[in-house]
Every structure is written in C-alpha cells, then in structure tokens.
Structure 1
Amino acid sequence: MALIQDNDAGISSELDSTPQSQEAEQALIGALLYDNEVYHRISGIVQAKHFYNPVHVRIFDSIAILIERGNLADAIVLKNRFSQDETLVDIGGVEYLALLLDNAPPGSTAPEYAKLILDMAMRRELIRLADGIKGEATDPDSEQDAQNQITSAESQLYNLAEIGGTQSGFVSFENALIKSIEMASAAFSRDGHLSGTSTGLIDLDRQLGGMHRSDLIILAGRPSMGKTSLATNIAFNIAKKFKREKDDNGIEKTVEGGVVGFFSLEMSSEQLATRLLAEHSQVPSHKIRRGDITAEQYEHIRDSADEINRIPLHIDDTGGISIGALSARARRLKRMVGLDMIVVDYLQLLTGGAGMNSSTNRVQEVSMITQGLKALAKELDIPVLALAQLSRQVEQRDDKRPQLSDLRESGSIEQDADVVMFVFREEYYVARSEPSEGTEEHLKWQEDMEQLHGKAEVIIGKQRHGPIGTVKLSFNPDLTKFGNLAQDDRFEGGH
C-alpha cells in the first residue's frame, strides 16, 4: 500500500528519525473501516495510544469505542463524528477517511500492521525512557542514589515490556466502567460468585470476595497464632488450582488459581516445603522431620511430593531482602513464568534498601516498605499478601483479640493496606492458663478447652471492598493446616 500524502496535513514520506510508520497506521485504520471484524483480531495487540499521528489516535479510539458498544464503525458514521473536527479538516476532512478506506489492505494483513505500530510505539517509549534515565544519572542535584535510580528504571522497563508503556496516564470513565462490568460479569459466572482469586477457605472467601488484584492484604498476629500456616495454606490452595486458557486473541490468561511467589524471610524453603508436605500427605510435620513414619506414611509423603512438585509455587528464602530487590525479583518471575499472587513472610523483616540512612527511623522505613508493596500490587496487577507481627500490648489485655492499633508501626500499615486481617486462636492462650487439677476452675477450664479445640478466628479489621467481621476456621496444629468449619447453616439448602 502506498503512503497517503497530504501537503496540508504535513504527512510525508520523508520520515524523521523518530520511530514511526504512517503507512502502517493508515493501512490498519483503512482495514478496520472496511471490515469491523478486523478489530477483534488486533485489539489485543495495539491500542489508540500506540499510534504516532494524533489524528490517527483519535480515529482509532472512536472506531474502538463504537465497535465495543456493538455499533457499526464505518466512514459514514465517523464522518458525523468528525464533521466539525478541526484537526481532521486540516488534513482533508472526511475525504481523508474515504481515502483510507479506498486504500485498505486485506484484513488478513491487519495483525502484522498492528504489530509494527506497537513495535514503533515501544521504540519511541524506550528512547524517552533512556533519555530520562540518562538525565537523572547525570544530574548532580538528583536526590536519588544510584541504587534507587536502577530500581526505578527497572520498574519502568518492566512496564514497557509488559504493557507497551511506562505511564498509563488518565483512563476515561467509560473504559474504567467497562472493566468494572467485566469484573462483575466474571464474578457472576464464577463458582461462589467471587470477584477475586479463591483462598480455598469458603467462609473467608465469602467475607473477602476472594483475593483481589492490585490489593495489599495484611495478615497479622502474635507469634504462634498461625500466620505463616494460614498464608502457606492460601498460597498452596491457589497454586494447586492453577489453570490457564487462551482468550479470543490467543493470549494466555489465568482463569483459576494462580502462579504464586512466596518470599519466606524467616523460614527456609525446606521448612516451608515440609509444612506443605505435612498438609498434603496428612502426616504431621514433626514426624516427617524426625523420620518417625511408617512405610504407608512414607508412600503418602512420596506421592504428595510428586503432586506438589508440579504446582506453580515459587519460594525465595533470602533473608533481609530489601523492598527494591523483592520488587525486581517479582517482576522477573512474572516475565519468565507468570505471577498471580505474592506472599511476604513477614513485612517487618524487609528493609527499606539503599535509600535508608542513619537518620531514618523504623516507622519511616516501614512506611516506605508498605508503600512499595502496594505499588508493586498495582504495577503487577496481583494481590500481595504480607504478614505482619503485632506489638506485645495484646498480651496485656484480658481480651487478647487483636485490633488495628496493635499493628507495629501501625499508621503506615493500616493506611496503605486494602485489607487487614488478624489470625487469633483463643485455645493457645487458654491452654497456658491451666488451673490446679481437681478444682472447679480446672473442670471449667477443661470445658473451655474442649469448645475451643481445633478452632481459629480470622478477624477482618479493615476492608475497602466490603464489611469487617470475624470468620471461623478449623485448625489442625499437627499438620499446621487451616480449614473450613462444618457449620450447619452452610449445608442448608444444598449449599
């Protein structure tokens, strides 16, 4: 197809050094005007923002809006839209649209033109990004040290590689509304009507609606409450249900479960794997560690290991990692194998990184870490589940159920989190207050222990998307496993 030239428009075959292809842009728009069905083959490749010519940006955007609404998008319809548009008048008015249509290439070539337009857009963005990195690095007055500049550059490069742009800019309310409707539709058609990824725990899913993309979820508790166990159970449930399918554009997307990245800053990968083996094989972890198992249990462990080995759960047990290094590793994992959820065990073991100095207090550092985790959740468009320790003031109260003020450096954690959950096992505290045997108090204590045995609570202290409240779960200390409590009302009506 020959390049359409118009002297008034300033469109010429003499292209400057900026990467662009006016011919490809004209060809793709012409193909769309000739056959609207072409849009469904190229919409997953190119967007309006990838076009170089501002007029083409507006024409493509109008075509996209019309087609997505189920309307016809041809030269006549666009003529009415652009009849008073001065920018189109400058390049020949509606006759320019007719010219594009007359020179339309076969629809089968449209994906190749779309790929070329995207490639040129990414090259332009790469040049802009490189100029910015060079300017920052050579600026003697820059407040960012080299390490922070590298982290920032890596983040921008990741976004460019993932979505074809380092800055999303403004999104029209119409586009935001379309995404919201798509999410509601997916939730309506999904088992359990969840808008997020299922945790594998029915009542927790009911309260949260699943784990939502771009959310920072804090799971807090005192030592021995089972934070790591619950996070491991959730991560395992999500990873073992992982399922991917290709959409209409041939792009693979996760439709159930997900690939999980687990940053274990306290426990080694071997310890974490032993917990998973215990949960899956139903053999207590202390017996696995000691080798105190029967031949039958060994077979269960071996079979479980074979199954677990196939699930997409990736463990990084580097201690004292910085928020910048964690973000870089998460981006790399998503680029290489995909990533649908991150678990961080636990938040207070992360460091702020190279930007920290001796005058930075811990509250400021934790604030930087929580902001970094929230930014990472939005950047990768995945939920981030971060564990957190609670202060000792919980132990001083008669009612030891945790609350938001018990979070260490609570201001920044509470502010940045979309959801704050506390795991609480009253059995743990009651077991440590055993009265003397043979007394009435001991009988009452035994009754309390029987009622509390194997039960746990997850207290939702904050939730942007829904109500707060308490979720009851079962807990098996031998297997360090949380599960659904069999409640009579759940099974009424066949649910």
Structure 2
Amino acid sequence: MAQTDLLVRPDDSPTASGDEGQIMPANVEAEALFLGAVLIDNKVVEELNTALRPEHFYEPVHQRIYERALKLLDRNSVATPVTLKPYFDSDEALKQLGGTTYLAQLTANGQGLLASGKLAEQIYDLALLRELVHVGRTLVEGALDTSEEVAPMDKISQAEADLYRVAEGATGGSEALDFRSAALGALKLVEAAINSGGRFSGKTTGLDTINDKTSGLHNSDLVILAGRPAMGKTSLATNIAFNAASRLMEDIKLGIDPSESPGAATAFFSLEMSADQLATRILAERAEISSEKLRSGKLSREEFQRLSFASQELNELPLYIDDTPALTIGALRTRARRLKRRHDIGLIIVDYLQLLQGSGRANDNRVNEISEISRGLKTLAKELNLPVIALSQLSRAVEQREDKRPQLSDLRESGSIEQDADMVWFIYRAEYYHNAIKPDTPDETSSEEVRMKYADWEARHLELVNRATLIVAKQRHGSTGNVPLLFQSEITKFTSPELRGGYEDYE
C-alpha cells in the first residue's frame, strides 16, 4: 500500500475540515516523510532550525509518534520503528493505518532526509495557518454576538492577544506544559545564575544589592514598587529601565546574543510624566548634571559637552517610552504586545498603577477596578513571559504613624495588588522625614539646649543623607528584608553602596 494512502482519513480527524466542508491547511504526506527521516537518522531533530513541537502535526497519530520519539531522544536512547513499537501496540488509531507496521513503512522511503529542514518548516507554517483559521472563526463569531453583555473593546483586545500568540508561533500556548519542558526551563534559570557568578538569574536591575536580594527580575513576575510621594519611585523605576536597556545595548555591541544577556529592551508606560521629562531624567543621570540645571539651561561649556556626549551615546538605547495618558488596562496590553512583536521587549514598567483605567464595567467600584488592573498586569507578564514592574501609591496611613516605614497594609485601594504581585517593594528614605523635623538653625543668641538639639539633628542627618532603603515586603522566590541603596537627589540616581556588613541595620 502506498504511504500516502495510509494517511488520508479526514473524516476521522476532529480538525479535518472547517465550515462548509473546507479542508484545513495540512500536508500529511510531508509529515510522514519528515517522521521517516527522524526515525532513519535521529540527528535530524538536533539540526532543526524550526521549533517544531508535536502539536504542530495535523495528524494525531503523527503527533504521538513525534512526541514519543522526542522523549526517547531526551533519555539518550534511539528512536526507531523497533524502539517505538512497544508504545503503540495498543494504539487504536494506528491500527487503522496498518498497526505498528506503519512505523516501519515510514522509513521505507528515505526522501525526507534530502529536505528534512524544509519539511519541518512547512509543517510548522501550516500549523500556524490552522491556528489563524481558528482565531478568525472565533473573531467572526464574537463580532456577530450583539448581546448587551458583549464589550467590543474586550473582543478586540482578545483578538489581538490571539493573533500575537499566532505571530509568536504559540499554537500550543494553551496546552499544559509537560514536566520535562518545565524542568528544562528551570535548569536554564539555574544555569543563568551560575554563569552570572551565582548572583542572579533574571533580568538585571543594574543595582547589585537588589540583584543579590531578588536574583534579578524574573519572567512572568509582577513586581509592585510602592512608596509615598517624594520617596523616589519614578526615579528608581527610570534607573532600572535605563540599566536594563543599557546592558542589552552594551552586550549586543560586544557580540553577545541578546537571549544570553541579562539586559532587556524596555517599555516604559508613563501615565504621569511626559516622554521628554523622562528623557531629561535619564540624560541628567548619565551626564551627572542636575535636572534643575537642565531645565533652566544654566550649563557650563563642559557640562553641555557631557550632555551632548550622553545624548549621542544613548541614541541606540532600546528604551521605548509611551506617555499616552488615561490608558485602559486593555489598551496597555495591546500596546505592550505590539512592542513585544516589533522590538522584542523584555521588561515593562508602568508608572503608575492607579492612573490606569479598567474596562469600564467596574468603574462604579474603585476597589474592583484596581483588582481588574492588577490581574491584567499579572496576566500580561505571563502572556509575554517577561517581568512587569508597576508603581503604586500608598495610603496616607503611613504619615499617621511614628514609624514611617511602609507595610503591605498600606497598599492603596485593594488587597488584590498584594495578592497578584510576585514581589512587593517599598522605597523608603528616612532622610526625607528627618528633614521635615529640622529645627531652626541656632545663632549667637540661641540657648545651649537649642544648640544641642540642632547638633543632634545634624549628626543624625549626616547618617541618613543620600541613603535609601528598598524594603522587599513580599517575594515568592525568596526571603524578605531590607536592601540598602544610595540616592543622589540632584541627578535622581540610585546606586548600590559598598557594604562591609549586613543589610538589617540599614535605614
């Protein structure tokens, strides 16, 4: 019996035909030739340039054959008709194709060895077309639904998400991940940590003390960075965005593959500050010139040269700023997918969470709306497989306490923020609160008590000046605690101090 004759059984396949009898895009003959090549020479799998997975095959039997072959190869065994036979003796679908003799028939024609790469590409491309057909049908069915409960913008957002998955080749994205794949992913994280000298395995923040505490920023994580006004939330977020983008740019120039770099192309959604204001901050930090001087234009010739050099140096910085105001969570996710597709971003920062809007259905209840937004950000992190840092305001309860250090209960408007977050960071600067209680500067007529009071304040001020603490209040992957930082307010720059002792006593 001819090989192709064995493969044609569209009436039995659940995905064989579409509406009105239309045949789905597929080439079962190409699948058979490719499988034959794999069973003749297992090295075919190692040499593939296409990320071919079992679910990309149209014929269910072929899916199972390829999946079992991969498992054998992963155990350093060989995949041949003989080694596969015990796994398919009771396969009812294979019996319709001639039983286990079909496995031997796959290798009878070795033509697939001549173009195994091209065959894999065609199988993969046809799988994407089938997924696209599915997305199109779902979109049409959704568009025809005119019931009152339907939100058109939600349909558009879902359609774009589905198209994004197709564009990324994630035809099996909704399928459960087998433990083998999950374990390989975990081992890659461990390998990345080893390669970094045992310090961190995720995306870099550019700040050693934070990297040491958190092992970097991990894909699919939602990080909440919260603090009261004037603590430096936006400054820290801007520093992290610049550091990650700058590291990627430097590594690419050194010839390092972007996938091996701890840096990341970064999308910064600024709902509060304009793009030019953020750019001014980054230039001020890089050129080490105060933002106040930049705004006033009172620069020396040497400072202007430093600014020009910094501007030229950052021309190719993979940092993308979106300052569209009043974004909905759906619109932000749409824009993020677009940036991922066009620029392969690896980090998203949102400044700040409370300025985002919900879908409109929860607007009558702010707590529900914030819950929808925090869930949407966590979903975005998982969907695009990258870390998302969302800045958040804190309630005024902090100001009413003698101890001004933030707590999880201070997160404003919704406990779901804490629930959805993988990490919660609080930025705290004792210097700010200490300056608020500064006594009058003594003069010649001041009493000894006044002089002593000012001297005590000044001594404490010298201990706190330019010091900041990042409080890791929640971390799914590790311990909580304090992370010491230095903050140069003139140029809005955070750096890591050189520590001789531990972190716990750091203010």
Alignment TM class, shorter chain as reference: over 0.9
Aligned-pair CA distance for 1:255: 2.6
Letter in 2 for 1:224: A
- Counterpart in the other structure of 1:463: 475
Identity of aligned residues (%): 43
Aligned-pair CA distance for 1:115: 1.5
CA distance in 2, matches of 1:348, 1:79: 59
Q: Matches of residues 54-453 of structure 1 in structure 2 within 5 Å? A: 54-141=60-147, 143-165=149-171, 167-242=173-248, 253=259, 255-353=261-359, 355-356=360-361, 360-438=364-442, 439=450, 440-453=452-465
Letter in 2 for 1:208: T
Contact 1:136-1:142 within 8 A present in 2 as well = no
CA distance in 1, matches of 2:362, 2:343: 35
Q: Deviations over 1:306-360 (max 9, x none)?
A: 111211001011111111111111111111121100000111111113x3365x2
Aligned-pair CA distance for 1:3: 4.8
Letter in 2 for 1:259: A
Aligned-pair CA distance for 1:291: 1.2
Q: CA RMSD in A?
A: 2.2
Letter in 2 for 1:401: R
CA distance in 2, matches of 1:298, 1:8: 73
Contact 2:265-2:347 within 8 A present in 1 as well = yes
Aligned-pair CA distance for 1:419: 0.5
- Counterpart in the other structure of 1:483: 495
Letter in 1 for 2:37: A
Q: Deviations over 1:82-104 (max 9, x none)?
A: 23333323322221111111113
Contact 1:160-1:166 within 8 A present in 2 as well = no
Q: Deviations over 1:282-309 (max 9, x none)?
A: 1111111111111111111100001112
Q: Secondary structure at the match of 2:484?
A: strand
Letter in 2 for 1:469: G
Which of 454, 467, 475 is the equivalent residue of 2:466? Answer: 454
Aligned-pair CA distance for 1:164: 3.4
Aligned-pair CA distance for 1:5: 1.7
Which stretches in structure 2 are left out of the alignment for 5+ residues?
A: 443-449, 503-507
Aligned-pair CA distance for 1:182: 2.1
Q: Secondary structure at the match of 1:42?
A: coil
CA distance in 1, matches of 2:437, 2:501: 33
Alpha carbons of structure 1 residues 144 and 435: separation in structure 2 relative to 1, 3 Å: same
TM value normalised by structure 2: 0.90
Q: Secondary structure at the match of 1:88?
A: helix
Contact 2:3-2:106 within 8 A present in 1 as well = no
Q: Deviations over 1:33-67 (max 9, x none)?
A: 11111102337432101111110000000111222
Alpha carbons of structure 1 residues 86 and 17: separation in structure 2 relative to 1, 3 Å: closer
Q: Secondary structure at the match of 1:20?
A: coil
Contact 1:352-1:366 within 8 A present in 2 as well = yes
CA distance in 1, matches of 2:365, 2:404: 29
How many residues are paired up? 481
Q: Deviations over 1:434-462 (max 9, x none)?
A: 12334222111101100001100000011
Aligned-pair CA distance for 1:106: 4.6
Aligned-pair CA distance for 1:11: 9.4
Contact 1:207-1:471 within 8 A present in 2 as well = yes
Aligned-pair CA distance for 1:6: 2.5
Letter in 1 for 2:478: G
Aligned-pair CA distance for 1:433: 0.3
Q: Secondary structure at the match of 1:488?
A: coil
Letter in 1 for 2:342: M
Contact 2:370-2:414 within 8 A present in 1 as well = no
Contact 1:475-1:483 within 8 A present in 2 as well = yes
Q: Deviations over 1:113-170 (max 9, x none)?
A: 1111112212221222222222222224362311111111111111111133274221
Q: Secondary structure at the match of 2:176?
A: coil
TM value normalised by structure 1: 0.92
CA distance in 2, matches of 1:164, 1:418: 24
Alpha carbons of structure 1 residues 93 and 366: separation in structure 2 relative to 1, 3 Å: same
CA distance in 2, matches of 1:114, 1:183: 28
Q: Secondary structure at the match of 1:4?
A: helix
Contact 1:159-1:166 within 8 A present in 2 as well = no
Letter in 1 for 2:366: R
Letter in 1 for 2:361: M
Letter in 2 for 1:219: L
Contact 1:232-1:276 within 8 A present in 2 as well = yes
| Greater shift in the superposed pair: 125-134 or 457-466 | 125-134
Aligned-pair CA distance for 1:388: 0.4
- Counterpart in the other structure of 1:248: none
CA distance in 1, matches of 2:112, 2:90: 30
- Counterpart in the other structure of 1:5: 5
CA distance in 1, matches of 2:422, 2:314: 31
Aligned-pair CA distance for 1:190: 2.4
Which stretches in structure 1 are left out of the alignment for 5+ residues?
A: 246-250, 491-495
CA distance in 2, matches of 1:279, 1:428: 21
Q: Secondary structure at the match of 2:186?
A: helix
Alpha carbons of structure 1 residues 257 and 7: separation in structure 2 relative to 1, 3 Å: closer
Alpha carbons of structure 1 residues 480 and 26: separation in structure 2 relative to 1, 3 Å: same
| Greater shift in the superposed pair: 319-328 or 82-91 | 82-91
CA distance in 2, matches of 1:156, 1:344: 23
Q: Deviations over 1:270-289 (max 9, x none)?
A: 11111101111111111111
Letter in 2 for 1:62: R
| Greater shift in the superposed pair: 218-227 or 302-311 | 302-311
Contact 1:50-1:117 within 8 A present in 2 as well = yes
Alpha carbons of structure 1 residues 415 and 488: separation in structure 2 relative to 1, 3 Å: same
Contact 1:367-1:413 within 8 A present in 2 as well = yes
Alpha carbons of structure 1 residues 127 and 185: separation in structure 2 relative to 1, 3 Å: same
